[in-house]
Amino acid sequence: MNPVKYAGREARQKLGFAHANRFLFWRRVSQFAVLAMFLSGPWFGFWILKGNYSGSVLFDLIPFSDPLISAESLATGYLPEAKVLLGALLVVFIYALLGGRLFCAWVCPLNLVTDCAAWLRRKLGIRQSAKLPRNLRYMLLLVILLGSAVSGMLLWEWLNPVAALGRALIYGFGATAWLVAAVFLFDLLVTEHGWCGHICPMGACYALIGAKGLLHIKVTDRAKCDNCMDCYHVCPEPQVLRAPLQGKQNESLFVVSKDCINCGRCIDVCPEKVFIFKTKI
């Protein structure tokens, strides 16, 4: 088993730096490309995406809406305008088709913060963690929807670090910066992969949406695994790897758990090329 702080080093030595970080690289390209589309209007006067991560319009034509906010609105008894509902349905369709929590890994701006905390945690050798149940985020999602129904307010938007960071990156940091700092310190000092892996109700929402999608991580050959554990060290949801990698002979080689964020880091850091992206059709 490789030391946690050196996760990915063997893959970099064996396959090269670019190969051992290719999905990480393209994820960053995707995340910054989305941010650039938001900033094109304020910075250059040419609007590609107008709005923010909660709700936006592409080229003043195609709407996108956060499904959780739309669900909260419906729970309060308020029917959003048709454009908002259409945007939510479009987002749900895209992520339900592709599968997994792709938003979390490839779009969400807070992923940059949590990935940084996870990297620093490994490098500093911080291993002690508070134990939180993985299904806590689903309980929080239910509480938010029930609370919105009872209060008549969009409860999650009072304390949503994803939306807060998105607004800060587009319009400038303000009083909500403390939310982002709190998530970083929580992941660094309290619980490994704490926010994305245990708490975020948006992640829970996208997990439910993409549970039956097409795109999955697949184990090519269990016999190739040398138990270096690098994939477990870098995966924000390491429990999803156990069944396909170490399960019984008749168990599926696909990572079918709805909690997988399809980030591809397990593919990147595996020196034996055990993992690939595959459509389950």
pLDDT tens per residue, range 31-72: 999 999 999 988 898 999 998 888 999 999 999 999 999 999
Contact of 73 with 83, CB cutoff 8 Å: no
Percent above pLDDT 90 for the chain: 70
Rounded Cα distance, 151 and 237, in Å: 33
pLDDT at position 18, please? 95
The pLDDT value recorded for residue 93 is 96
Class of domain 4-14+213-279: alpha beta
The one-letter amino acid code at 203 reads G
Q: Are 106 and 31 in contact (CB under 8 A)?
A: yes
User: Residues 6 or more apart from 119 whose CB is under 8 A from it?
Assistant: none
- 243's tokens: 């069944």
Closest CA to 120 of 69, 192, 219: 192
Percent of residues, the chain, with pLDDT higher than 70: 99
Residue type, 33: A
Q: Where are the domains of the chain?
A: 4-14+213-279, 24-126+134-209
Report which of 218, 220, 238, 237 is spatially closest to residue 229, judged by C-alpha positions.
Answer: 238
Compute the 3-state secondary structure of the chain and give helix, strand, coil in percent, each to the nearest 5.
60, 10, 35
Please tell me the pTM assigned to this model.
0.91
Q: In the numeric block, which tokens belong to residue 176?
A: 């909500």
77 three-state secondary structure: coil
Q: Please report which confidence band the pLDDT of residue 119 belongs to, taking 50, 70 and 90 as the band edges.
A: very high
Please state, in angstroms and rounded to a whole number, the distance separating the CA atoms of residues 207 and 103: 10
CA distance 34 to 77: 32
How does strand 275-279 pair with strand 55-58?
unpaired
Q: Are 112 and 196 in contact (CB under 8 A)?
A: no
In this prediction, residue 80 carries a pLDDT of: 84
Residue 163 has a pLDDT of 81
Half-sphere exposure of 248 (CA within 13 A, CB side): 2
Q: What's the pLDDT at 175? A: 64
Residues 6 or more apart whose Cβ sits within 8 Å of residue 213: 95, 96, 97, 98, 99, 100
* Amino acid identity, position 204: A
Say what the pLDDT of residue 225 is: 92
